[in-house]
Amino acid sequence: MSSLIQVLAKYRSLLLNGTEITLIISVITIVFGMIFGSLMALMKMCRIPPLRWFADVYVAFIRGTPVLVQIFLIFYGLPIMGIHIPAIVVGGNDISRIVSGSIALVINSTAYICEIVRAGIQSIDRGQREAAQALGMSDTRVLWAIILPQAMRNIIPALGNEFITVIKTSSQVSVIGIAELMYTANTIRGISFKPIEPLVIVALIYFLITFVVSLILSAVERRMRRSVR
């Protein structure tokens, strides 16, 4: 116990920095994952076959390959494709690596969020769309005013799970040298010659983050259930 506190005290700023990077990457992933995931879900359900095919292939491929492979593919693949992210270093963190890692995670979670949103929308009874159309509503209005508000209720629990998965999955970008929590744990293990303590500490930090997130989510769920029947 005392050695835990020792490590915690000594490497406080490293750990704080790692936590910050983990949070930043997770938030980026969730925000963009939700935007692209929703768009992808609409593509999957749209009337234009090529868009649908693209979304199908995309989701199948991303869900069928390990996230670790995706992270490396983006990290080494972007420069090969001629996309160079300038290596800007801010406060000891290489921004280009964070961008590359975030892109990989967004690409990954887009596929999962797409499926969540699609399932949520398709769980709404067909009669809802028909009743709305019969009142003269346009397709866009039907989607935004009738389908999506109801779908949200089904989507939120699954989306919450995905948020928590994203936070945990972000540890994988340590392999491309992003100084997030997992990477920080390894760094501390190397310099302190203490193999276990840093791992226990980051495990606790991960748990703390996901626990708080799940508390917030269940509060949101409760509120949704109260206002929407």
Query: Which residues form the interface with other proteins (CB under 8 A)?
Result: 125, 127-128, 130-138, 141, 145-146, 149-150, 153, 228-229
- Smallest Cα–Cα separation from 92: which of 209, 177, 8? 177
Residue 123 CB, shortest distance to other proteins, in Å, is 13
CA 67/CA 107 separation, integer angstroms:
10
Q: Which residue lies nearer to other proteins by CB, 56 or 130?
A: 130
How large is the C-alpha radius of gyration of the chain? 21
Q: Which residue lies nearer to other proteins by CB, 103 or 147?
A: 147
Q: Give the helix/strand (H/E) hosting 94.
A: strand 93-94
Residue 58 CB, shortest distance to other proteins, in Å, is 30
Residue 104 near residue 67, CB atoms below 8 Å: yes
Q: Which residue lies nearer to other proteins by CB, 83 or 135?
A: 135
**How many alpha carbons lie under 13 Å from residue 144 in its C-beta half-sphere?**
5
Residue 121 CB, shortest distance to other proteins, in Å, is 14
Q: Which residue lies nearer to other proteins by CB, 199 or 224?
A: 224
Residue 83 CB, shortest distance to other proteins, in Å, is 43
What is the DSSP-derived secondary structure letter of residue 138? -
Q: Which residue is listed with tokens 């509503």?
A: 137
* DSSP string computed for 29-79: HHHHHHHHHHHHHHHHHSS-HHHHHHHHHHHHHHHTS-HHHHHHHHHHHHH
Q: Which residue lies nearer to other proteins by CB, 135 or 204?
A: 135
Residue 150 CB, shortest distance to other proteins, in Å, is 6
CA 53/CA 59 separation, integer angstroms:
10
CA 34/CA 177 separation, integer angstroms:
26
Q: Which residue lies nearer to other proteins by CB, 132 or 202?
A: 132
Residue 179 near residue 18, CB atoms below 8 Å: yes
Residue 146 CB, shortest distance to other proteins, in Å, is 6
